[in-house]
Every structure is written in structure tokens, then in C-alpha cells.
Structure 1
């Protein structure tokens, strides 16, 4: 895979003229976006309260803040080739400082090797991002709920305005998450926080793995997933799989960080450079909604 092809940005001539004529000001121009206050639905708040009845709320709130900071600062993992190169460079640095150490016995050699490995690992942890996927067990699923649910709901509502309106009648909704516990929590929330209640929404199904069939869907959403994947190849393969299951719209949502921006651009360039007519598409919205060519 390659993502070297970059789209050409063509500014609006009228905007350029207005900039030259100093019509726009730093605090007053068409690019200003004033987000509105978004209120979480009462039904969702009630469902969350019901789910958390038997759990330590204070601990969940504090752990939710920690998780939110972690996710905000998360970066994609180093590729294996980059990691090997970094490890070799650090090892050479460590060895250069130990070049005068005398080795008289095999035991001395083993101790030296252990010392070098320990120092290399310590330096790598300090100087390079130590990527790890988050294990969303039952507790961490609740931590995510407390730390991110409100912010993500607000973000998605704001992202749909102005200028982007997707009017779709959803007869079938398939929700996929590698964590069984996250799927269970999502279902319980749709049951008003009581696992014994029936869901008011019909046609909602949960899966741990993507379907192997070639069935295509009108709307496919990848939300806060790509930075949890272990490599660039894994990200591209996952998105290609999703794109092949897209009938109309593919929506990519990631953290509003530099790492999230870079990953989204990586995916955008990968899809847009597709030469196959059957998989061609174009940008439907600058908030990164891809639309298949009709």
C-alpha cells in the first residue's frame, strides 16, 4: 500500500481576494465555527444511571478522566521496521558507553548483555511512544462510558451541522466491536440500562467480528478505532474491508488530535488513490465522509 499521492488544494478565488483586501479579520471570517451547547438526552442519562447503580461512581469518573487523557494523547504504534531501526540506534549508544568494560568470563558477558538490554528497553520507553491497545473489559467499558460518552455524543451532533445532512432510513443496524463487554454494554444502554428490558429500536444487532459476506450497507462508520490497530497495514486493510462493504457513505471518526488527523489523512489518501472503478469514491464532506461513485 502507498499513500504518497496528495490531493491538490484549490482555494476559492473570492476568498483569496477578500484576504488580499483585508476584508476578513482573525475573529470574523467564514471559517469561524461556533459550536452549540449539546444536551445529552434524558433517556440516555437514565440508562447510564441504571447501568452504574452497583458500581463505584467516583472511581469510574476519575478513571474516566485518565482514560480520556490517554486516548487524547494516543499515537499510532511505530512500524516494525522503524522500531528495529530505533532499537539498533539506541543499542549502539549504550554499547559506546560500555566499550571500556572488561569481559574476562562468560558470566561477565551474560551480565553485560543483560545490562545492555535493560538500558536499551528503559531508553526506548522514555524516548519512544509505548503503544498498547486498550483492553475493554467490563470495568474499562464503564470507564469509557463515563470518560467519553458525553463528549463523543456532542461531537457527532455538532459534526452534522452546518452543511452535512445524511437522511437515511436505517432498517438494519450492525454494531461491531472486538470487545464483547462493549457490545453488551451498548445493548443494555438501548434497554434503558436494564438487561431484562426489550429494546425499543428494532433491527439492531451486535457482532464481535466483521461479516465475511460481501453484503454492502448504505452507511458504514468507523469511530475511534484506527489508533487501536497495531500497524499501518492493519489500518489500511481494515478500512479497505469497510469500504468494500459500503454502498453509499463511509464515515471516519477519530480523536481531534494531530495523530488522529494524520491517520484520517492516511485513510483518505489511500481510498482516493484507488484506481478500480468498482471501489472509486470521493469526499462528500470535509469532516471526512466518503461517498462511492455512482
Structure 2
């Protein structure tokens, strides 16, 4: 960063951070076509035959430009890659580390040897994987369409030098996914990359390719926004829908985390769509403009080739725990596929479960395997307590 001597780097970092967080999906052609027909019909009714066909088309196009999200593909050159590194390296590392910890904690005997990272960027997935399974991993394949990003990631592995021994051995860089469908990796990751694809068709193709290359776990991470959550639910449904034609690996997909079920996401089917997101605290890179600690808000889905263990069907905390004297408010996604707001007390649920709930944090699992008893009635409000 010092060698680059870029002006207003702090402002550029903040601008890019805000832009990535507010990013939405590009409009699909069919969606635009429907909007255009609706606008045209409305204008014809309002204006009658006052406008010619050419004027009407021009008015519709202007209206679409004003009301449709203008999605643009980001092209990462050397300068923008540095800005992205300063903005996202530490937060991305924190989110992916949290996802890897979920696997490590629940399947401690899992010792992956190979990992592929799609949209590898500055290499935060490699660092997180090395930190988690460095003793067993022998091959890391980083795939990114930006040559500048790959060069920066390689330089970071070498301690900021252009040449030298990389800190993490066995890392390989490519601009394109491996062609052979027979090659599989123990862990396949896509972190903050699916949202950079220009259409649903592209996302579908990439997700199917990543799943074909998955030997054990497919880890998908996106921003903790409605858009990020929708992308992950789209990918989850695509894998759960069943195998594609003539699959080389016929093992079906299962949801490993965070969902305790394989039913439709209750947050998507709610009257008001909510993002299923989690938060991870982390220490930031000590740039002059950075706070020492931040929170990374992210959404994730981990898909597995094997059926999860019996305790997979434990409810998941979807919000921070609200602690009050002698009771705890827990918002849970439960195995029955519904969201429940439960008041946990020692008298109703037992001393051990109460202590467990009180010590738990947002994103943890609680051992409710059926619909929780004693739900909070709709008339009650936790703020009353």
C-alpha cells in the first residue's frame, strides 16, 4: 500500500465498501420485458393515442432507466485490487473462518487435502483454510478472472515480495475453472463471488460446476443482505433439487449449515423478506483509518455430499440472544422449517438448557429438535421485560 502511493485511499476504500454492500442482482431480460409491457400499457391508457409508437418506446425506455437497478461488472485492475484488499481482506477472512469453524467443530475428523476457491480475490480463503486445516491441506487452487487479483494474492503469500518462498505451500493460481469434470476437491468455496455474475443463467452454470467439483463440502458466503441471502437460497435449492443429467458423482446434496432442515427458507416466505445473516467480530488490518475491531455481517450456506450427523437438526439462533433476569429471549430457526421466538427459563426448559441458551451467541445452535415448547405469544413484546 505504501509503495502504491494512491491519493485518497481511505475515501476509495469507503466508497468501494459501500458500493459492494449495496450491490443488487442485475435485472433479468424477462423481468425487464414484463416491466416494459406494463409501462407501455399504462402509458397508452393515460395518454390515449397522443404519442406515436416511437415516442411511446422512448418514454418506456426512460422510465426503465430510472426505475431499474443499473448493474455493472467490476473490472479489477492493479489499483482497484489494492483498494479491495484494504477494504475486504480482513472481513472476508473473518466470515470464511467462521464457516470453516462450523465444519471443524462438528466434524473434527475431517482432514481435507485439496481445496478450490472460486473468485479467490486477494486470497483470504486460502489464509483461512490454512489457519483451519493447514496440517492436512496439500493443494489450494485459486481461480479468479482478474490477473491483477491473482498477482496480488501471490505477492501477499510471499510476504509482499515479488519473489520468495510462499508462506502457504501448494497454492496454485488460474484464471479459469478446471475443464475436466472428473477432478474433485474436498472443499470448494465461493466467497462474495456469485453476486459478481451477470445473470441467473451464469450463476446456475457456476453453481452446478462447483457442485460437480465438490468431494465433501461446498461453502458459499455472501454479504449479509437480502440480495446475498437470495443468491445463497437460489444455490441451495439448485443443489437440493436433485442430480443433473448423467452426474459423475451420484451422491445427493444435503444442507450442513446453517439450516436445521431442507425445507423452504422461512425468512424468504415471511410476509416481509428478511436476510438470514450472522455476525463475526474480528481484528482489522492496522491501517491508519481502520478501527481496531469490527463486525462482519454475512450470509452462508454449507452443502455436504454426506448426510449430516443426528444433532444436525438442532435449532439455530437467527438473532442476538436477549438476556433478562431469570429468562432469555431466543429467536430460532427450527427443524420444522419455521421461525420461533422462545423464552427459555430454568423452570420450563431445565437448568442445563437455560444455561446453554444464556451462554450462546447469534449463529449458535440450541438442542431443540422439535418445535420449541412455551413459545412467546404474539401479544407479548420482549421490550416489555
Q: 2: distance between equivalents of 1:246 and 1:100?
A: 58
CA contact (8 A) 1:177 1:209 kept: yes
Query: For 1:120, which of 51, 60, 76 is the aligned residue?
Result: 60
Q: 2: distance between equivalents of 1:290 and 1:202?
A: 27
Cα offsets for 1:6-33 (capped at 9, x unmatched):
xxxxxxxxxxxxxxxxxxxxxxxxxxxx
How many equivalent residue pairs? 234
Cα offsets for 1:126-174 (capped at 9, x unmatched):
2121112211122211121122112212222334446753643211111
Q: Please state how far the C-alpha of 1:269 moved relative to its aligned partner.
A: 1.1
SS of the residue corresponding to residue 201 of structure 1 reads coil
CA contact (8 A) 2:26 2:70 kept: yes
SS of the residue corresponding to residue 290 of structure 1 reads strand
Find the counterpart in structure 2 of residue 217 from structure 1: 185
Cα offsets for 1:31-73 (capped at 9, x unmatched):
xxxxxxxxxxxxxxxxxx4xx42231x5232122111111111
What TM-score do you get using the length of structure 1 for normalisation?
A: 0.71
Q: 2: distance between equivalents of 1:79 and 1:157?
A: 33
Q: 2: distance between equivalents of 1:207 and 1:259?
A: 28
What TM-score do you get using the length of structure 2 for normalisation?
A: 0.55
Query: For 1:258, which of 207, 226, 234 is the aligned residue?
Result: 226
CA contact (8 A) 1:77 1:130 kept: yes
Unmatched runs of 5 consecutive residues or more in structure 2 = 113-135, 259-299, 308-385
Q: Please state how far the C-alpha of 1:91 moved relative to its aligned partner.
A: 3.8
After superposition, where does 1:135-150 map in structure 2 within 5 Å?
Answer: 135-150=75-90
CA contact (8 A) 1:254 1:261 kept: yes
SS of the residue corresponding to residue 26 of structure 2 reads coil
Cα offsets for 1:187-218 (capped at 9, x unmatched):
11111112133313221111000010121111
Find the counterpart in structure 1 of residue 70 from structure 2: 130
Q: Please state how far the C-alpha of 1:92 moved relative to its aligned partner.
A: 4.1
SS of the residue corresponding to residue 11 of structure 2 reads helix
Find the counterpart in structure 1 of residue 306 from structure 2: 293
Structure with the bigger percentage of helix: 1
Q: 2: distance between equivalents of 1:131 and 1:279?
A: 36
Q: 1: distance between equivalents of 2:45 and 2:10?
A: 47
Find the counterpart in structure 1 of residue 140 from structure 2: 173
Q: 1: distance between equivalents of 2:16 and 2:58?
A: 28
Find the counterpart in structure 2 of residue 283 from structure 1: 255
Q: 1: distance between equivalents of 2:65 and 2:15?
A: 20
Q: 2: distance between equivalents of 1:273 and 1:54?
A: 48
Find the counterpart in structure 2 of residue 157 from structure 1: 97
Structure with the bigger percentage of strand: 2
Query: For 1:69, which of 15, 18, 26 is the aligned residue?
Result: 18
Find the counterpart in structure 2 of residue 34 from structure 1: none
Bigger CA drift: 183-192 or 60-69?
60-69
Cα offsets for 1:72-107 (capped at 9, x unmatched):
1112112211111112333444555665648xxxxx
- Pairwise CA RMSD: 2.4
Q: 1: distance between equivalents of 2:104 and 2:168?
A: 24
Find the counterpart in structure 2 of residue 228 from structure 1: 196
Q: 2: distance between equivalents of 1:178 and 1:241?
A: 16
Unmatched runs of 5 consecutive residues or more in structure 1 = 1-48, 103-108
CA contact (8 A) 1:164 1:285 kept: no
CA contact (8 A) 1:60 1:142 kept: no
Find the counterpart in structure 2 of residue 55 from structure 1: 5
Find the counterpart in structure 2 of residue 45 from structure 1: none
Pick closer, same or farther for the CA change 1:203–1:70 going to 2, 3 Å.
same
